[in-house]
Amino acid sequence: MAHLNFDANNVDPAVGFDPVPAGKYVAVITESEKKPTKAGTGQYLQLTFQIIEGEFKGRLLWARLNMENPSEMAVKIARAELSAICRAVNVMAPKDSIELHNLPLTISVGCKKRDDTGDITNEIKAYEGKQQPALATAAANGGTPPWKR
């Protein structure tokens, strides 16, 4: 049992989210973390992307890159995807994944059916650079990006 000091009358209820429609969205990486694979035989880099413009502003999407895996092909795909992300945000040799955070890029999002549940889910398919006039404004405002104000 846990003691709660809570009044649901003062908090909007959580709502479920349907996948965003397939398309291109301007986003930033807001979080990154290395995690062990389910099988325990490697690690993946989980990146959290937040859409920063348009109708779906604020929505989150994730990419999981198999950076250490017994499958050479999985690692090759992950490294190519990370290279595309680095090129899109113009950080060519990051020492830490935090260097990729809060830099706008365009993500191409698709929809696919999950094998285990049959639910439709989002999948990031590609990454492109995004020239953002707001970056000059952010520098003029003490370096705070407009989506963080």
In a domain, 97, yes or no: yes
Give the domain range for residue 110. Answer: 19-132
Mean pLDDT of 94-106: 97
In a domain, 45, yes or no: yes
Q: Total domain count for the chain? A: 1
CB atoms inside a 10 Å sphere around CB 146: 15
For the chain, the average pLDDT equals 89
Q: What is the pLDDT of residues 9-68, one digit of tens each?
A: 988 887 778 899 999 999 999 999 999 999 999 999 999 999 999 999 999 999 999 999
Return the DSSP state at 40: S
Q: What is the rounded distance in angstroms from the CA atom of residue 54 to the CA atom of residue 116?
A: 31
Looking at the DSSP bridge assignments, the partners of residue 68 are 43
In a domain, 1, yes or no: no
What pTM did the predictor assign? 0.79
In a domain, 107, yes or no: yes
CATH of the domain at 74: 2.40.50
**CA geometry: angle at 107 spanning 141 and 75, to 5°?**
115
In a domain, 141, yes or no: no
